């Protein structure tokens, strides 16, 4: 094994008091704990192989600066992923294990289109990134020479403001 991608995510659109305890737990379990457990398994495997490898975390710009309202808990879980990526980079870099977090903004997925996140814009007609764009970013990251690393890569569509 030479790479893993932590791409699972779940989120609910609503104000802080709109979330049920189950929704909060689910976001933390999937977005934070899922990323932690995948990273742990990858590190154990890389060490058993005696080799380095890559851990790529798909976060969100919501975890950095734009929790654009009505997504505070989701933003907090994505911020946790970003901070985990930075911490793992410092912990594991000396073993040849690279950790990259890719933090996209609006991507045309059913998850992002739910609950009116795209407003009145039809995401299939709009200026949003496609999942294949993020897959290409992952591929590019993994193809970097081993002497290089990208800690955090934010991606925005040409039409988005931040």
Buried b (16+ CB within 10 A) or exposed e, 101-112: bbbbbbbbeeeb
Strand order in the sheet with 97-104: 3-6, 53-58, 97-104, 152-155
Helices and strands in the chain: count of H runs, count of E runs: 5, 4
**Which token pair is 73?**
């808990």
Which candidate in 13, 19, 74, 140 is catalytic?
74
140 is catalytic: no
Active site residues: 74
């Amino acid at each position: 094994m030479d790479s893993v991608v932590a791409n699972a995510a779940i989120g609910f659109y609503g104000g802080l008091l709109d979330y049920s305890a189950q929704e909060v737990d689910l976001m933390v379990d999937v977005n934070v704990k899922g990323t932690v457990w995948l990273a742990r398994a990858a590190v154990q495997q890389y060490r058993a192989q005696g080799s380095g490898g890559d851990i790529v975390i798909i976060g969100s710009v919501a975890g950095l600066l734009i929790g654009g309202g009505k997504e505070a808990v989701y933003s907090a879980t994505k911020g946790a992923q970003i901070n985990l990526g930075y911490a793992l980079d410092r912990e594991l870099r000396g073993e040849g294990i690279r950790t990259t977090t890719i933090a996209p903004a609006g991507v045309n997925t059913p998850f992002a289109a739910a609950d009116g996140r795209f407003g009145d814009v039809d995401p299939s007609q709009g200026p949003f990134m496609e999942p294949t764009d993020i897959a290409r970013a992952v591929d590019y990251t993994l193809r970097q020479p081993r002497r290089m690393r990208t800690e955090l890569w934010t991606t925005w569509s040409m039409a988005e403001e931040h």
